[in-house]
Amino acid sequence: MLRPGVLQRYWDWLDLPEHTVRLSLSEGSTPLIPMPRLAKDLGGGFDLYVKYEGLNPTGSFKDRGLVAAVGEAVGRGARTVICASTGNTAASSAAYAARAGVRAVVLVPEGKIALGKLAGALAYGATVVQIQGSFDHALALVREATQRYPIALVNSINPYRLQGQKTAAFEIVDALGRAPDWLAIPVGNAGNITAYWMGFKQYHAAKGSGLPQLLGVQAQGAAPLVLGHPVEHPETVATAIRIGRPARGEEALAAARESGGRIIAVPDDAILAMQRALAREGVWVEPASAAGLAGLAAEIETGRLDPRGKTIVAVVTGHGLKDPDIILRQAVDLPSIPPRLDALHPYLLAD
C-alpha cells in the first residue's frame, strides 16, 4: 500500500502556497514507542514515549520540513536550494532536491559533521562545501548568498520548514488522543521546538486537544538560550546542536515560557549516557537526539519536574546510524580470535 507523506496527510492543516509541489518520500508517520524500562529507571509512575524521528527517509525529522520548503521553492521556479547545516538538513535538502530534480548546495562546518550525514548529502548528489568556521558562520553566508543570487534558502528561517515540521505534533496528538503533559526535545537552531508549539496550538484551537509543557534541551557547551547570549565557540559531542546563535531562539524561548515549561542545558556525558540507555532498550539515536531525554532525567532527578501520573513524550530526532563514529570510538578492544571453538568458549558464557 502506498504511504502518504506529510503534505498529503495534513495538507489542509498547513499554511503553504498553492504553488507548492507536493513531493513525498513517505516521510512522517513515525512511531511513538513506549519506554517502560527507562521510565522505571527514572522513578516510575508515568508513561514515557519516544517519537522516533530517525525513521524518516533520510534518518531525521528534517524530512518533514524539507519536503515542504523544497516543494514550495520548486513550485515558484527555483532551480537551486541552499542551506547551512550541521548535517541532517544537508542530507534531507539534498534528498528532496534530488526528488524534485533541482540542485542542492549545502554548507557544513568543516570537520564537525557526522559521517552518515556527509555521506548522505553526497549520495543524494548535493554540492557540499566545507566552511572554515561553525554552523553560525555557514548560516550567515547562506543568508548573504540568497540575497545576491537567485537561490532558495531552505534553513528553518524559511517559514515553510516549520509548516512541515509541525506535523510531528499532529501525529503525537492523533496517536495519544490528546497532547502529552510534557514534551522533551533537543534544541539547536530552535526551529523544531518552535514548529511543535505551532502544531500543538493549532490542534488545540481546532480540537481542544490540550497543550504540553515544553522542555527544550541544549548541550552545555552550546547553550545560548540558557546563558542568555550567543556562544562564539560552541562545543559539544552532539554536533547536530553545536550552534551558538540560534535563528529562532527568541521564538523558542517564548514558546517554552508560554507553555509553562523551560529551556535547560545538559553536559555531554549525560547526553552520551542517555544515548546508551536508549540503545539498551533497542532505540539507537544520534547523540543530539538523546539530549531531550537527558534533560528530562536531570529535571526528574533534581525534583524540578514531578512526572507522576503524567504522559511524557521525548522527541528523538535522528537515527544512530548517522554518527557511528561516536559508538565505535567507545568500543575499545574488540576480541579477535582464530576460528576455533575453544577460543570462542570464554565469550559464550560471559554475562
Using alpha carbons, list the distances in angstroms from residue 139 to 162, 244, 295.
Answer: 17, 11, 27
Q: Which of 262, 286, 290, 299 binds ligand F0G (CB under 6 A)?
A: 286
- Which value, in Å, is the radius of gyration of the alpha carbons in the chain? 20
Nearest to 106 by CA among 74, 75, 81: 81
Binding mask 237-256 for ligand F0G (x = CB under 6 A): ---xx---------------
Give the nearer residue to ligand F0G in terms of CB position, either 39 or 94: 94
Q: How far is the CB of 7 from ligand F0G (least distance, A)?
A: 19
Does 224 participate in binding ligand F0G (rule CB under 6 A)? Answer: no
Does 314 participate in binding ligand F0G (rule CB under 6 A)? Answer: no
Does 190 participate in binding ligand F0G (rule CB under 6 A)? Answer: yes
Nearest to 189 by CA among 86, 93, 262, 305: 86
Give the nearer residue to ligand F0G in terms of CB position, either 171 or 286: 286
Q: How far is the CB of 159 from ligand F0G (least distance, A)?
A: 14
Strand ranges (DSSP E) for the chain? 32-34, 47-52, 80-84, 103-109, 127-131, 152-153, 182-186, 213-219, 262-266, 311-316
- How many whole angstroms separate alpha carbon 178 and alpha carbon 69? 28
φ, ψ at 152 (rounded to 5°): -90, 130
Binding mask 35-54 for ligand F0G (x = CB under 6 A): --------------------
Does 24 participate in binding ligand F0G (rule CB under 6 A)? Answer: no
Does 109 participate in binding ligand F0G (rule CB under 6 A)? Answer: no
Q: How far is the CB of 154 from ligand F0G (least distance, A)?
A: 10
Q: Cell numbers of 242, please?
A: 553545536
Return the range that interacts with ligand F0G (CB under 6 A); candidates 14-22, 186-194, 219-227, 264-272.
186-194
Q: Compute CA 177 distance to the chain's CA centroid, rounded to the nearest angstrom.
A: 23
DSSP letter at 252 equals H
Binding mask 60-99 for ligand F0G (x = CB under 6 A): x-x----------------------xxxxx----------
Q: Cell numbers of 41, please?
A: 529507571
Burial per residue of 295-329, b for 16 or more beta-carbon CB atoms within 10 angstroms, e otherwise: bbbbbbeeeebebeebbbbbbbbbbbbbbeebbee
Does 189 participate in binding ligand F0G (rule CB under 6 A)? Answer: yes
Q: How far is the CB of 138 from ligand F0G (least distance, A)?
A: 9
Return the range that interacts with ligand F0G (CB under 6 A); candidates 6-14, 19-27, 189-197, 219-227.
189-197
Q: Which residues bind ligand F0G (CB under 6 A)?
A: 60, 62, 85-89, 156, 186-192, 240-241, 286, 288-289, 317-318
